[in-house]
Amino acid sequence: MAGESDVSENALSCANCGKPANLQCPKCIELKLPREGSAFCSQDCFKSSWSSHKSVHVKAKLSSPGMGTPGEQDSSSPGESWLYCLKRGQSRTPKMPHFDWTGTLRPYPISVKRIVPANIDKPDWADDGIPKIEPNSDFQHTVEIKSPDLIAKMRETCRIAREVLDAAARIVRPGVTTDEIDKVVHDTTIAAGGYPSPLNYHFFPKSCCTSVNEVICHGIPDARKLEDGDIVNIDVTVYYKGVHGDLNETYFVGNVDEDSQKLVKCTYECLEKAIAIVKPGVRFREIGEVINRHATMSGFSVVKSYCGHGIGELFHCAPNIPHYGRNKAVGIMKAGQTFTIEPMINAGIWRDRMWPDGWTAVTADGKQSAQFEHTLLVTDTGVEVLTGRLQTSPNVFPWLKS
């Protein structure tokens, strides 16, 4: 272990640009952190590096005595068990990973894996993180026509999933951490007798996905507090009575600027327009054409790396549902099929990059992204939205208010 070096004040370098520095971050002084790494040459350098520099304060607080004990799940008092996620959930580290971040958002430490009671029916990845039935199923290549009994189970599961998402939506406000949102999702799912499908799916460490600002999808709930002006997508999937129900919505945190409001509203409209064409005989590829047309006419782009999917007894299966135009999706819709449509719409370019955690997909240009999702059933005459909003759903979208 290296010892501390005695660095005189006039030898300090700016943490942002490397120039000689004689200003110090006041928060670092309050936390009694070493001068190295907390010095800046000017107020401009300090301001420009604030979004990344403030993570130093979080790490200092998380490692300080009296901040909790290992294994604690109360996000208000995280302890040493709060670590950064790596390798798709299979590894942890106390230090923030190095990465060429595309926007202002940074990962924060995550809490320990939440407990699922023994009496809850679990999917086959719950214990070891590895799905066994799903990847080898014939329904990865053939679109299943669900039986009436299976459809009835999916209606029930999707309603629970909707109620879980609504519970999470009710606590979205500045100052709430995404880990707190995850706890609400987890506890509400368990209380309903379900299992949160994302938990340990291919080692995903949490019970839902929370994607903030430039995160496109699969954001991992962590210790970061939501800030006024953020947008956050909450993606919930519930496993109950042997089937899955999947949906997500993007919410405003506090006062959101007009550009963000336009992006989120357009994304909502993309999903609604796509659902409107669902009926027997329609080609799956047409969904992407409808979404792409509305998004591009509104000045936005459509993510191509992630798509909707079949769902039922399997979390992910055929058909694939691309959301972009000129896609090559095969097949036509038939009564009894169930699948998700979940367009991801970007304010800038459509391309994405992956964070070091192996899950969090972010926009390549750091601009915001929004998403909405429903699980759908093709009926004889059209479509049934299995995860549709309820009369009790929180009234959070301005364009739906009467």
For 250, residues 6+ apart whose C-beta sits below 8 A from its C-beta are 231, 232, 233, 264, 267, 268, 370, 371, 372
Closest to 224 measured CA to CA, from 343, 132, 104: 104
- Binding residues are 218, 235, 246, 309, 316, 342, 373
Residue 357 to residue 307: CA distance in whole angstroms: 21
For 286, the enclosing helix (H) or strand (E) is: helix 285-297
> Which single residue is written with the structure tokens 């590096």?
49
Closest to 339 measured CA to CA, from 299, 293, 396, 378: 378
Residue 92 to residue 85: CA distance in whole angstroms: 5
Residue 279 to residue 290: CA distance in whole angstroms: 14
Rounded to 10°, the helix 285-297/258-276 angle is 150
Beta bridge partners of 332: 283
Identify the sign of the CA torsion 82, 88, 90, 94.
negative
- Binding residues for Zn(2+) are 235, 246, 309, 342, 373
Helix (H, G, I), strand (E, B) or coil at 43: helix
Residue 371 to residue 268: CA distance in whole angstroms: 7
Burial group, residue 219, by CB count within 10 angstroms (0-12, 13-18, 19+) = buried
First and final C-alpha spacing in the chain: 64
380 is written with which tokens?
């004889």
> Which single residue is written with the structure tokens 């272990």?
1
* Contact between residue 304 and residue 328 where contact means Cβ atoms under 8 Å apart: no
Q: What are phi and psi of 335, to 5 degrees?
A: -55, 135
For 5, residues 6+ apart whose C-beta sits below 8 A from its C-beta are none
Rounded to 5 degrees, what angle do the CA atoms 329, 266, 247 make? 60
- Binding residues for a protein are 218, 316
